[in-house]
Structure 1
Amino acid sequence: MKIYAPESGDPQQIAKFSYDLKRYETSDELVVDFGGVRFVTPAWCVLVGGLLIQFRKSFPGVRGKAINFKHLGYAAHVGFFEYFGVTFGQKPDAAPGSETYAPISVRKTEDVRRLAMARSVQVGDVLHDEAEQLATLLTRADTGDLQDTLAYSIREILRNVVEHSQAHEYVFAAQYWPGTGVVELVVADHGIGLARSLQENPNLFISDDEVALRNSILPGVSSKAWKKSKRHDEWANSGYGLFMTANLSAVGGAFFLISGAKMLTKTNDDEMISPFAWNGTAVIMRIDANQIEALSAQLSRLRDQGSAFERQLKKTTIGPSKASTNAKPSSWGKTK
């Protein structure tokens, strides 16, 4: 049986693809036709590839085949096909990257922890360093509002994966389009998902994926935020990372948070929930560099807004961790 790959990186198209795959769970063969694909983005590469990996692991008895994909040179270059098992193009992490893109990259969470231990630093410090390098790579600058915003946002997303997902690895890719000033970053894992993670917090009632998504972008919400933490710990699990990241991305851009059976979409004007089928958690950030205010002002405003909201609900007394409110970057340095 044949299924058509999404035509573009529109998350709604990818969501439809995730549910269309369910119709092939009892088939003898799954043929994925890439002939209609017109515009490939980092989110398209990581999520479509991840969905095909997810399908193969869940239904190993279904034979897989890809057709009509030779025109997708960008996807091949950044490691998309090798990522999900088709011998074509580069492997993940193989492409050198440039000032405008980072290829599909796979990181083992245990390697991150081991590196932090070897350097006698916090996990957040290791992740911030890679986040800063990615931000500099994508913006062609090591300073400025966009670079600071990206470094902060990428760091917070990666930290959530390592500290909360229980995933063995995570995947990311990014692209900066200088002509439009748009940046897209995607980070995904196949861990336990937001609902199971947040259910570890006894102060939260997380009944399903939608409730988990809506709660996860509120200030002070975390699977660990209910525990008392030492104030001097810069990387305390205070639950402000996704709140800050979602609101920064929504300024002239968009933020997509996917976990389990649902996807949350947040822009400046709207917030909506739609169906998805993803085992784990994925984040898509789209930032319009032309509409970003100074990062320090954004973070200060969001910190004050988040603290006020948290005090009103009395969910925790930990407050924002220093890492979630500090804008200063770290100094560590085949078929057809």
Structure 2
Amino acid sequence: MPNARISFPTKTDLATLFEFARDLDYYTQHDRLIIDMPNKVFCGPFAMLLLGAKIKYLKDKCPNLQVIFNNWDSLPYLSHMGFYDLCGFDHGKMMGQASGNSRYLPITQLEEKDLVEKPIDEYEEMQDLLQRSVDRIALVLAHDQYENQDLYDVLGYSLREVFRNSFEHGDTSSIYYCAQYWPTSNKVEFAACDFGIGVRKGLGRNPNFRFKKDKDALECALLPSVSGRTHEPRRSSNWFNSGYGLYMTNRLARNGGNFVICSGNSAICMTPKTKSNFVTSFPGTILRVNLNVGQIGRVQDRLAEFREEGKMIAAKIKGSGNRPPSAMSLLLRRDYAPSPRRGG
């Protein structure tokens, strides 16, 4: 088909983003797609990651489709954050190239193999190596592990569980992430995505959780004790799949913030009081965690509270096996590998 021309979203609310991601599928039928960039638009981590990943997928799926960004220099922030590199263009900084600071982390690709940094790491479990990496990410955003301990703790926990979900359930060895901290509003947003098999297929490994619709799979995945691997033998005494990771993470996010998950043709946004469903199109899985730093509270207390609530919910879920949360899904990093105190 002949050329097509579309406008990059000038608003980045969830409804607009998800509709644009769905609309992009139509242009696989064309030979050339021109994307007109606006002179001004606010793009947070989730918006950049969702749109960049979808355009990358479009280009990879249709190698004969020529994608052109018109007026791309109008948004230097996207260039700086590695957006165009994610899309597959040699323009601006590469993913992970921007140095970042205590307020942001650029779009970055993390390969599972890169978790092994020294020979002895070959004998460590992937999840322990992953915790080391997410602790570094958390420290950049929290700035100080001790003065901002609650923020550091909730980021370390949430990032670990989100990344684990991709590596352990998505059949992928590569994830992308991006984060931003706004000190004036005291809010943090991080987003992560992968091009794996998606939530529905991941849950489908468990015969108790096979769904025909992505929407049903997403809603079930956010419940406690639901996992595509809870029926499998445990491979580790510390790290096993109890199905609590996404449940605990979305509860932490909703404690004054919000949680978004998208996979296949469905997306869900959960706030402290509401749940909204969207129709969209995304290969793999993408998540967003928005945190109101002032309302986090002591993370250990929140985890204990959500754990007890989760046990009661899990008891009512058919096929969950009512497994208790794994020790590592509930404990913070310092609980099983204490960090040295200052001056110690």
Provide the TM-score with structure 2 as the length reference.
0.91
Q: Give % identity.
A: 28
Q: Distance in 1 between matches of 2:35 and 2:211?
A: 36
Q: 1:51 to 1:117 in 2, by over 3 A?
A: farther
1:171 aligned residue (176, 197, 209): 176
Q: 1:233 to 1:116 in 2, by over 3 A?
A: farther
Kept in 2: contact 1:203–1:226 (CA 8 A): no
How far did 1:75 drift? Answer: 1.4
Query: Paired residue for 1:311?
Result: 315
Query: Paired residue for 1:140?
Result: 143
Q: Map 1:1-336 to 2 at 5 A.
A: 1-35=4-38, 37-112=40-115, 118-143=121-146, 144-229=149-234, 233-313=237-317, 315-329=320-334, 330=337
CA deviation string 1:136-195 (max 9, x = no partner): 111211131111111100010001111110124110010101111111101000110000
How far did 1:279 drift? Answer: 0.7
Q: CA RMSD in A?
A: 2.0
- Give the letter aligned to residue 147 of structure 1: Y
Helix, strand or coil for the counterpart of 1:259?
strand
Helix, strand or coil for the counterpart of 1:25?
helix
Provide the TM-score with structure 1 as the length reference.
0.93
Helix, strand or coil for the counterpart of 2:73?
coil
Q: Distance in 1 between matches of 2:40 and 2:219?
A: 32
Kept in 2: contact 1:219–1:307 (CA 8 A): yes
Helix, strand or coil for the counterpart of 1:70?
helix
Q: 1:116 to 1:200 in 2, by over 3 A?
A: farther
Q: Which moved more, 1:7-16 or 1:209-218?
A: 7-16
Give the unaligned 5+ runs of structure 1: none
Instruction: Count residues with an aligned counterpart.
Output: 332
How far did 1:12 drift? Answer: 2.1
Q: 1:188 to 1:37 in 2, by over 3 A?
A: farther
Q: 1:125 to 1:8 in 2, by over 3 A?
A: farther
How far did 1:39 drift? Answer: 0.5
How far did 1:114 drift? Answer: 8.7
Helix, strand or coil for the counterpart of 1:188?
strand
Helix, strand or coil for the counterpart of 2:171?
coil
Give the unaligned 5+ runs of structure 2: none
